[in-house]
Structure 1
Amino acid sequence: MCVRLRALLDAPDLRLRLLTGGSHLDRAVRWVYTTDLPDPRRYLTGGELVLTGMLWRHDPADSAAFVAAVADGGIAALAAGYADNEAQSVPDDLIEECRRHDVVLFEVPPDVSFATVTERVVRAVTEGRPGADEERWRDRLHALVATGAGPDEMCTLLTDRTGADCMVLSATGRRIAGADTLADDDRRGLARRYLSAEPLPTTVRLRTDRYALLPVSPRQPRIAGWCLAVAGDLDTDDPAVRGPIGEVCTLLALEWSRQEEARQVADRQGAQLVRLAGSDSAAPADIASRLQVAGFAPDEPIAVVVAAAAGGTPLTALLHEICAGAPDPSLVTGVDGEAVAIVAAGIDRFGELVEHIRTGAEALRPGLSGARVGIGVAAASACAAGLHGALEEARAVRRLGEHRPGQVRVADSGELSSHGLLLATVPDELRRSYTDRLLGPLVAYDAAHRTDLIATLEAFLDCDGSWTRCAARLHLHVNTLRYRIGRIERLTGRDLSTFAGRVDLYLALKLA
């Protein structure tokens, strides 16, 4: 079912005022969506009545960008209003932009809540199903909207309707809501299938049970969105099943959008903090003040996580999801092409945090579409005083870690003291040139004479140049070992009795 714009305009309890688009009042409304994002088009599927309190508007240019975005999203109409503020009305620039884009615009009276409008639209678009069961279902669905119920209540309603356990999972397998019947590994397994399945919805078998996996909203990026998992052999093509699942998914998508908007507000505040901390001229008192506003004590230990990736990877959403499962509170934001997280993790838990980030990043790998992601993690003993240094250190280890193989690369500040991380930054062409020059003669000699000079060199260096220990390891007489080392020195031009000679050949072996 649907509701026409004319019916909403004529509703005496809503008292909407038509500002533009009077020729489109027979347009059907498919659903309702409330937003104060400056560009909400990725959350729109077309046919929505969009409600906005205009928190995104700071000047006329903002109205132009917002209206262009919702028009591109194919909305049915826009309804704007300032709640509980009779002195303000819809600005002229917003009216003019709606007129220019041929968007229907209503003004919502300040004493009419958006919840009232939302309930009216939901009730109208879900009416028309025959039968007492359908009536009870519709009443409970309306009650969820009217009371602002959360995802758990939505899952309970769907379970009562279908008789099947259901749960909402994040892209890493975190349980957002619903039945708590699966072990962590099983939930992560369902999440992996959700990330990689083409197309969705899909049905998967988990041990003896089957689960239907559906995206809460097809417009959500999978690594940022929610997955609805419904247990049992339900036929999701059956209208009696597909209808309730689709309606609950729509409510879940609205809840996800609400939470996403709240995160984006926090992200903007976090971006200001990160930019301030990254400045060489920032006063520690200013950093401490912003940290307190964000919920961090100035003297508490923290960790900083920096992520970067090529292509269109939603980095901030990715880092949000990775940090969401950590036991410590965090602030995640996007700054200048990077995603940055500040985590209230003590030094004693730093290793645990790094492992959690590695596990979470690897869990999201199936949803990265081949994009390579680099993540750096650093710690600071005092938040306000150490934030700048930890931020720079995390960026440094992230850049060093990018030279490692693999699609997802996580490096931490403890590795800055390891030569292995530095060697990983050597370009491939220089690596080949160096190893060929030093080790090439040994490889050729071994191939021609069926000897083991490379293995002998590795053992000699591993034994710190000890003749007796190396000879014992290789089951050789010491004189035989001395003969082989002499041959290595002549072929490579390096003196293995010197520190410099050993370092040259050690690095060549590590680079090979």
Structure 2
Amino acid sequence: MAVTEEPTLRALLRRRDLGLSLVSREDQLPASSLDRPLRWVHSSDLADPTPFLSEDLALLTTGTQFDEAVDIDTYVGRLADRGVLGLGFGSEVHRAGIPEELVAACAANGMPLFEVPYRTPFIAVARAHSEAIAAQAYARRSWALDTQRALALAALRPRGLDATVAELGRRLDVWAGMFDAAGALLVSHPRDAVERHALDDLGERVIEILTRGLEAGQSLTLDDHTFTLFTIGRGGHLRGVIALEIDALDPEARSVVTSVIAMAGLAMEQSEQLARSRRRLHTQLLESLLADDSTLTRRVIGGLPAAPVVVAVASDAPAGPITDWWERHRADHGTAFFLAESDEGLTVCVSAVDDDLLDELAHRFGIRIGVSEPEGYDAFSRAHAQALTALRQRSGAGAERYADTVGSSILSALATDEARLVAESRLAPLRAHDLSGSAALEQSLRCWLRNDARAEPAALELGIHRHTLRARIAQAGTLLGIDLSSFPARAELWALLQTARD
């Protein structure tokens, strides 16, 4: 990415025209102390110049302050604490040679000490470093302009967005990848620079960031990789993420990344408009399928998943990201699918052999899905109704299958809001009695019915005498206006207890 040497203390020491020489032993200095970016060069002979200094600069001095009662160890310690990157001593100006105490103090504090010869004015050192900063700034601006041109040309190629992201990786000399809203990696460069498991973890983080609607750049570390993530799209309509294996960007590199994000956002917005039009068409085709006739749908889209199929209905499901997820499966594995939006939710139709993908879909997006039994297209409406029934039985994220729903209890299938309202109204006298603090009649009834209306085992379970239980059953029957000596009455009561909310 860099095209010129970064202004550092090492770069300054390499300038032959200045004649600077490192006095400290490099092998005794902290690692990279000579290669950290050098912000500026300043000169001062004050006993304590630190109030006037900023960090990451080099200080030049002639040592006149050491004639006073200045403790050299304390002086150098203050400079190190302030973040000064190096100390230059102007020899033969006020002193002959460099004081040994200063050499020892710099060594003790890990401070690079260099000699500025008498023939080199301090202003020449500062000017040389200023010119190096200006040269680097010019080079970075030139690099940014050249990179912008290369990215614009890449955008004109076939699959321009993929080519643009790959060119960005080449120009920054880092791994670059683009993820869609479903967390799938669309393009990466270099292709195999990051391990598969790290990319999977990164995809999970992408989904989390997009779900939370975060727009700012995110930095995270996975294994030995540090990534910076940039979201694509505007707030509330995020389309994906561009990831770079880099921990920081200078202003020029950031401006280049910003332009790529803008191009990607525009391309994805156009793609999303086409996708919305396609989903509207599929919504109309769903009406044809619900009439148990797949002829029109086959003519319009060219094909459907092979029968037998399962139909799934998802609640509160993001249509765009889910469509992207299925499209990726089709591209990678040839998985056929049909997807459409309706008032009931998002309807997905896949071959019965791909049924397990619905569990993966529910887990990945944290949504509720009802799944039908396998059916042919001539029974599509029945499969759709089964999926809706299964969906109503699911309380949390995950896939609920119709076969499991009907296998549990017919009462659960009949427990509509209207049925619950009726049940709670019928049981109101019983519950009002129990709330008064008298005997727990509802609990006694439930236990008695569970034990097949036999008083002995039910009384034993409740810990009361069987005569007490019989008295409670008689009292409950009176309150409810039901003759509990008949089986139909007991069956109706059991249905009421199972349907009403506890």
- 8 A contact 1:442–1:491 mirrored in 2: no
Counterpart for residue 53 of structure 2? none
Which residue, 420, 428, 433 being the options, matches 2:425?
Answer: 433
Higher Rg:
2
CA distance in 2 between partners of 1:423 and 1:212 (Å): 50
After superposition, the Cα gap between the structure-2 partners of 1:435 and 1:226, relative to the gap in structure 1 and judged at 3 Å, is farther
User: What amino acid sits opposite 1:355 in the alignment?
Assistant: D
Counterpart for residue 17 of structure 1? none
Q: CA deviation at 1:412?
A: 5.1
> Is 2:500 the partner of 1:511?
yes
> Is 2:316 the partner of 1:304?
no
CA distance in 2 between partners of 1:428 and 1:510 (Å): 5
Which residue, 218, 226, 238 being the options, matches 2:240?
Answer: 226
- 8 A contact 2:312–2:369 mirrored in 1: yes
Counterpart for residue 370 of structure 1? none
- 8 A contact 1:330–1:344 mirrored in 2: yes
**For 1:379-428, what per-residue CA distance to the aligned partner results, in whole angstroms no more than 9, with x for missing partners?**
4422x322243345445666x56xx878x897654436643343243388
Q: Give the share of equivalent positions with the same residue, in percent.
A: 17
After superposition, the Cα gap between the structure-2 partners of 1:418 and 1:320, relative to the gap in structure 1 and judged at 3 Å, is farther
> Is 2:489 the partner of 1:500?
yes
> Is 2:168 the partner of 1:174?
no
User: What amino acid sits opposite 1:256 in the alignment?
Assistant: M
Matches within 5 A, 1:253-264: 253-257=265-269, 259-260=271-272, 263-264=275-276
CA distance in 2 between partners of 1:135 and 1:201 (Å): 24
Matches within 5 A, 1:95-134: 133-134=143-144
CA distance in 1 between partners of 2:245 and 2:451 (Å): 58
Which residue, 207, 210, 214 being the options, matches 1:191?
Answer: 207
Matches within 5 A, 1:435-450: 435-444=427-436, 448-449=437-438
Counterpart for residue 336 of structure 2? 329
**For 1:137-172, what per-residue CA distance to the aligned partner results, in whole angstroms no more than 9, with x for missing partners?**
346424522332466554444444446655433444
**For 1:192-249, what per-residue CA distance to the aligned partner results, in whole angstroms no more than 9, with x for missing partners?**
2332245x21536567887544331217723xx21334455436xx522321222222
> Is 2:293 the partner of 1:294?
no
After superposition, the Cα gap between the structure-2 partners of 1:146 and 1:321, relative to the gap in structure 1 and judged at 3 Å, is closer
CA distance in 2 between partners of 1:231 and 1:472 (Å): 69
The gaps in structure 2 that reach 5 residues or longer are 1-137, 189-193
After superposition, the Cα gap between the structure-2 partners of 1:212 and 1:492, relative to the gap in structure 1 and judged at 3 Å, is farther
- 8 A contact 2:140–2:252 mirrored in 1: no
After superposition, the Cα gap between the structure-2 partners of 1:277 and 1:506, relative to the gap in structure 1 and judged at 3 Å, is closer
Q: CA deviation at 1:452?
A: 4.4
> Is 2:359 the partner of 1:355?
yes
**For 1:86-128, what per-residue CA distance to the aligned partner results, in whole angstroms no more than 9, with x for missing partners?**
xxxxxxxxxxxxxxxxxxxxxxxxxxxxxxxxxxxxxxxxxx9
Q: TM-score, normalised by structure 1?
A: 0.53
Q: Secondary structure at the match of 2:362?
A: helix
> Is 2:230 the partner of 1:241?
no
CA distance in 2 between partners of 1:162 and 1:471 (Å): 79
CA distance in 2 between partners of 1:464 and 1:345 (Å): 44
CA distance in 2 between partners of 1:466 and 1:174 (Å): 60
Counterpart for residue 58 of structure 2? none
- 8 A contact 1:171–1:191 mirrored in 2: yes
Counterpart for residue 30 of structure 2? none
- 8 A contact 2:430–2:441 mirrored in 1: no
> Is 2:282 the partner of 1:270?
yes
Q: CA deviation at 1:250?
A: 3.0
Which residue, 456, 469, 472 being the options, matches 2:444?
Answer: 456
- 8 A contact 1:304–1:340 mirrored in 2: no
The gaps in structure 1 that reach 5 residues or longer are 1-127, 364-373
Counterpart for residue 203 of structure 1? 218
Q: Secondary structure at the match of 2:248?
A: coil
After superposition, the Cα gap between the structure-2 partners of 1:485 and 1:220, relative to the gap in structure 1 and judged at 3 Å, is closer
Q: CA deviation at 1:186?
A: 5.8
Count matched residues: 349
After superposition, the Cα gap between the structure-2 partners of 1:396 and 1:471, relative to the gap in structure 1 and judged at 3 Å, is closer
CA distance in 1 between partners of 2:327 and 2:484 (Å): 52
Please report the RMSD computed on the Cα atoms of aligned residues, expressed in angstroms: 4.5
